[in-house]
Structure 1
Amino acid sequence: MDAVIYLDLAHIHPVVERVWHRTDVTEVPDPGQPVTMLCGLIASAAFERYDQRSVHGPLTQCQYCDLIYRQSLGWVVPFGHRAARQH
């Protein structure tokens, strides 16, 4: 008998150097597999328990991933969004 663990691909937020990103993966990546973030950054997949997510301090959100994500959904980009000012 299996214990099935369901993962929501829409909620995979890779963390690279304490910055969390968004990605548009179609399946859970294997450890070591390259993952491309919406901002274009590429990093190898690695996995840890969720409670280890901010063990080295608070995380920040990638402003470029956030901008691209909002635009892809047709959401209004808030006035003063740091990434929008640079495009």
Structure 2
Amino acid sequence: MSAVIYVDLQAVHPVIDGEWHRLIEVLTPGQAFTTLCGISDTATFVPLSERRARGAPRQCDRCDVIHRRKQGIPLQQDRVSDAGLRGRRQ
């Protein structure tokens, strides 16, 4: 019998140079992968406490744009500009 660890794959984001990225596929340790924005690397897993010691990563803007377009979610700059117009009288 082997242990099974269930992971929410939507919550797995590799951090490269302080930016977290979205993935195209599921990861296993040592597997090569490519992010939505096209960066390729090899997966390693470390305890969450190590991430906290290095500071919180920021989101990759290119991965965010690609993800939003695929999901039909408005881009952040579009939401900000639309929100400013709604409250103003014409």
TM-score range (shorter-chain normalised) is 0.7 to 0.9
Report the count of equivalent residues. Answer: 79
Matching residue of 2:66: 68
- Give, in whole Å, the separation in 2 of the partners of 1:15 and 1:67: 17
Q: CA 1:3–1:34 in structure 2 vs 1: closer, same or farther (change >3 Å)?
A: closer
Structure 1 unmatched runs, 5+: 82-87
Larger Rg: 2
Structure 2 unmatched runs, 5+: 80-90
Q: Note the aligned Cα RMSD (angstroms).
A: 1.9
Instruction: Give the stretch that moved more between structures: 2-11 or 57-66.
Output: 2-11
- Provide the TM-score with structure 1 as the length reference: 0.77
Task: Report matched runs for 1:73-84 at 5 Å.
Answer: 73-79=71-77
Check the 8 A contact 2:29/2:45 in 1, yes or no. no
Structure 1 residue 18 corresponds to structure 2 residue 15: no
Whichever residue aligns with residue 75 of structure 2, its letter is V
Matching residue of 1:30: 29
Deviation of the 1:80 alpha carbon: 6.4
- Give, in whole Å, the separation in 2 of the partners of 1:62 and 1:28: 18
The percentage of aligned residue pairs carrying the same residue is: 37
Q: Which has the higher helix share?
A: 2
